[in-house]
Structure 1
Amino acid sequence: MATVNERLQSASIGHAVDLQHLSNAEVRKMVSLLNSVDTDLRKLLIEAILRAGTDTYTVQRMNAVLGSVLALNKSIYASIGEAMVEVLSDLAAYEIGYQKALFTAVIPQEALVTVSLNTVNLAQVRQIALARPFQGKLLKEWMGDLEKERAARIRNGIRIGMTEGQTTEQIVRRVMGVKEEGYADGLLNRSRKDVEAVVRTAISHTAQGARDAHYKANNDLISEVAWLSTLDNKTSEECRLRDRLIYTNDTHQPVGHQVPWLSGPGRIHFCCRSTSTPIIKGWEELRLSKGLPESTRASMDGQVPRSTSYGEWLEGQSAARQDEILGPNRAKLLRDGGLKPGDFYNDKGKFLTLKELRERDAAAFVKAGL
C-alpha cells in the first residue's frame, strides 16, 4: 500500500500535468485575443503608412501618424491584462481548494483529529499572484512592457521598410507576416511568443505561491518539501539539477545539499514546469497515539518517497488518464506500441505530430494497431 508521501508525490505530478493543460488553454485564449485586432491593425497600419510619406522620418512624426495604431495596441494589452487578472484570481482560489481537498483525502483522519489542517487566506494568495513580482516584474508591469515592445516593433518595421523603399503592402507584410506562413514571418510574431511566456509564467507563479502558502500554514504537519521537475527534452539545467532535492518547509533551506531554492519551482525561470510536493511528518514525530491502526502507522512513516520520473508516473496511470494526457492515439502507442513518453518529442523538445511519429517509427503504429 502506498504511503501518504508517495500518494502526495503522485498527486503532485498529476496536478502539474493538469496545470500545463490549463496553461496551454490560457495561452491559446490570450494569443487569440491579441490576434483578434489583426484586421483593424492592418487597416490602420496602411492608413498610417500612407500618411507618413517616404521623405522624412522622425520618432515624433511616426508616433503622430501611428496614433490610432498605438491606441489599438494599448487597448488590446489592457484587455489581456484584465483577462489575466481574472484567470489568476480564479486559479488562486482553485489551488487553495485543491490542496485542502488533497490533504483531507490522503492524510488519515486519525492524524487530522490531532493535528488540524489549516486553511489559507484567499486574499493572501491573490496578493502573491498580483502584487508580487515574477521574473522581476508585476503582471501589470509585464503587460505594459509588452505593449511598448510591440509598438516599437511596429515603428521599426515601418521605418526600415520606408528606408528600403518598400511598398505599403511590403511594409505591412514585414510587420504582420503572411497568412500562408501562419504570420510567423512577421515582426509581431515575437509579441505572441512574449505573451505566451508571460501567461505560462504567471500561472506557474500563482500556483506555486498558493502551494507554498498552504504548506507553510500547515508547518505542524509538513517537515520538508521536495522539488519535482518534469524531466524531458525541454527541462532546463536549473530544474534538472534540483529534481528531487529536499528543502525545509518554512524557509526553503537546502537539506543534505547546497543547491539554493532561489525563486522556487514554477518561478525559477520563464515557463518553468517544476512543482513541489510536501513531506508529511511521521506519526511518531506528530506524537500521534500508539493505538493507531497498524496500516495508518505504516502509511505515515515520514519518509521521502522513492523518486518517480514523469515517464514512470505516466506509464502507471489508468488508460483513461493516459488518453486524457496524451490523446487516445499516442496513449495507445504508449501502452501497445512500445513507445516511451520521451519518444513523443524530438531532440529540441517539440511535441511530434502523429504524422512525424509514424515517419519516425512506423512499426510502433503497426504494433499498436493504428
Structure 2
Amino acid sequence: MANKDDSLINAIIQHQAYLHRLSSHEVIELLKKFNRESNVMVAKLRDLLDELSESERIALSGARYTTANLREIKSLLNEWQSSMMLILPEAFAVSAIALAVYEANHQAKTLGQTIKAPQGESIFKQAKRKPFAGGMLIDQMFSDMAETTRRRVEYAIRDGISQGQTNQQITQRIKGTAKLNYEDGILNQSRHSIDMMVRTARSHISNTAYEETYKALGVKKLKVSATLDSRTCKFCASEDGNIYDIDDPNRPHFPVHPRNRTVYVPYVENEDEMFAGKRPFVVKPGEAGQVSANTSFKEWFVTQHEDFQREWLGKKRYELYKNGDYNIDKFLDPDGKLYTLKELKRLDEETFKELGL
C-alpha cells in the first residue's frame, strides 16, 4: 500500500513521464528505419527520373506505366511501401511486447503486490484486437501510413512534372532540404504520423496491461486520472476523477484520442489512504505546483487564473462558464464530443440571449 511519501497516484503520474521519454526513444529508432528506407528510395527515384524521355514523363504525369523505365519506378514505389509495412511493424512489436511485460509488473509492484509472470505477447494480442483513439488499430496503423505516404509521393511526382519542375526539384519536394533539416519535405508528414501513432499505440498497450493487472489483483473499481495542464482535452477534463466498475462496458477506454495521457488508477473506498499525497500540475512553462491527489480537473480549474481559463475554454465558452450556468461537463454532448456554439445556442436559447451571444 502506498504511503504519504510515495502515494499511488504520484507513482503512476511520475511513471507516465518516464514512459513519454521511453516512447521518444522508440520513435527515434523507428524514424531511423523509415529515413534509411526512404533515402534509398529517393536516390533511386532521382536516377530513374533522369532516364525518362519527355514522352515517358508525360505518361508518368498521367499515372500510365507503359514502358520498362516507368514500370521500374512503379516497382520501386511498391517495394518501398512494402518495406515500410514489414520493417516498422516488426520493430514496433518487439518493443511493444517488452513494454507490456514491464507495465504489468510495474503496476503490480506499485500496488505492493505480485502477479504471475505476465505474458507480453498475450497482452499485445489483446491490445491489437481493440480499437483506440477513435478507431485506430495497431495492425493497420503502419500499413495505412505507408499507403498514404506512397500516394503523396506519387502525387508529388505527377504534379511536379505537370508544373515543369526539374527532377531535382521533384525529389527535393519529396525529401526536403538539408538547410531546413528536411522538415520541408513531404516525407516529414509521415514522420509526424509515425511519432503520433507510436506514442498513442504505446499508451494503448500500457493501458491494456494496467487493466489486465488490475483484474488479476481483484481491483473492482477504477478512477480516471487526467493530466492537470492546458493540453488536456475537454473530454478528459470532464472525466477526471470519475469512478467506474472495472467491468463496465460503457466506461471510456483510454487513449480516446492521439497522444492521450489519461489513465485509470485503482479506486478503493478508503481513498484518502490510497491516494494520499500530492498531484502535480502545470499552468504554463515556469508556473507549476501541486494540489491534493484527490483534486479533480474540474476542481483544479476553478482555482486557475482567468487568463488560463479563457485560453483553455475559448472566449465564448469562457463567458458562459463565467456566467455560472455552464460547467465543463455541460460543454460536451452525451457521447463526450464538444458541442459547437451553435449547438449550445439551440439547447439553451435563454442563456445565450442574456449574454448577447
> Common fold, TM-score beyond 0.5?
yes
* Counterpart for residue 10 of structure 2: 10
Find the counterpart in structure 1 of residue 176 from structure 2: 177
What is the SS of the residue equivalent to 2:112?
A: helix
Q: Tell me, yes or no, if the aligned pair for 2:8 and 2:274 is still in contact at 8 Å.
A: no
Which piece of structure 1 moves more, 173-182 or 242-251?
242-251
SS state at 1:59 partner: coil
The letter of the residue matching 1:243 is D
Q: Which residue of 2 aligns with 1:262?
A: 252
Length-normalised TM-score, structure 1: 0.67
Q: Does 1:76 pair with 2:76? A: no
C-alpha contact (below 8 Å) 1:280/1:302 kept by paired residues? no
Q: Which sections of structure 1, spanning at least 5 residues, go unmatched? A: 106-116, 254-260, 283-299, 317-346, 349-370
Aligned to 1:335: none
How far apart, CA to CA, are the structure 2 residues paired with 1:232 and 1:301?
23
Distance 2:104 2:236 in 1: 25
- For 1:192 and 1:142, the matched residues in 2 are separated by 13
1:239 aligns to what?
236
| Count of matched residue positions in the alignment of Structure 1 and Structure 2 | 278
Check the 8 A contact 2:128/2:137 in 1, yes or no.
Answer: yes
Distance in 2, Cα, partners of 1:60 & 1:143? 27
Q: Which residue of 2 aligns with 1:280?
A: 268
- The answer for the alignment partner of 1:39 in structure 2 is 39
Q: Following TM superposition, by how much is the alpha carbon of 1:310 offset from its aligned partner in structure 2, in angstroms?
A: 3.4
Return the offset for 1:224.
Answer: 2.2
Q: 1:4 & 1:248 partners in 2: Cα distance?
A: 26
Deviation at 1:120, TM superposition (A): 7.2
Aligned position for 1:187 = 186
Q: Specify the code of the residue in structure 2 equivalent to 1:241.
A: S
Deviations 1:253-277, CA, capped at 9 Å, x for gaps: 6xxxxxxx3223xx11111111221
Partner of 2:20: 20
Q: Residues 311-350 of structure 1: matches in 2 within 5 Å? A: 311=282
Q: Is the 8 A contact 1:92 1:210 kept in 2?
A: yes
SS at match of 1:66: helix
Alpha-carbon separation, structure 2, partners of 1:167 and 1:38: 20
**Aligned amino acid, residue 244 of structure 1:** G
Q: Which amino acid aligns with 2:235?
A: E
Deviation sequence 1:133-182 (CA, Å, 0-9, x none): 33424322111111111110110000000000000011111111101111
Equivalent pair of 1:91/1:207 in contact (CA under 8 Å): yes
Matched residue SS, 2:15: helix
Q: CA-atom RMSD, angstroms?
A: 3.0
Deviates more, 1:177-186 or 1:226-235: 226-235
* Residue 134 of structure 1: aligned partner: 132
Secondary structure of 2:91's counterpart equals helix
Describe how 1:207-222 pairs up with structure 2 within 5 A: 207-219=206-218, 222=219
Moved more, 201-210 or 174-183: 174-183
Distance 2:278 2:221 in 1: 15
Structure 2 distance, partners of 1:124, 1:69, is 35
Fraction of identical pairs, as percent = 24
CA contact (8 A) 2:41 2:76 kept: no
Separation in 1, partners of 2:25, 2:274: 36
Is 1:98 the counterpart of 2:106 in the alignment?
A: yes
| CA-to-aligned-CA distance 1:94-124 (integer Å, 9 cap, x gap) | 111111222227xxxxxxxxxxx65475253
1:309 aligns to 2:280 (yes or no): yes
How far, CA to CA, are the matches of 2:159 and 2:193 in structure 1? 22
* Aligned AA (2:231): K
Determine if the alignment matches structure 1 residue 58 to structure 2 residue 46: no
Moved more, 235-244 or 90-99: 235-244
The 1:132/1:271 distance shift into structure 2, 3 A limit, reads: same
Quote how far apart the aligned CAs of 1:244 are. 2.2
Kindly indicate whether the alpha-carbon contact (under 8 Å) linking 1:23 and 1:199 is maintained by their aligned counterparts in 2: yes
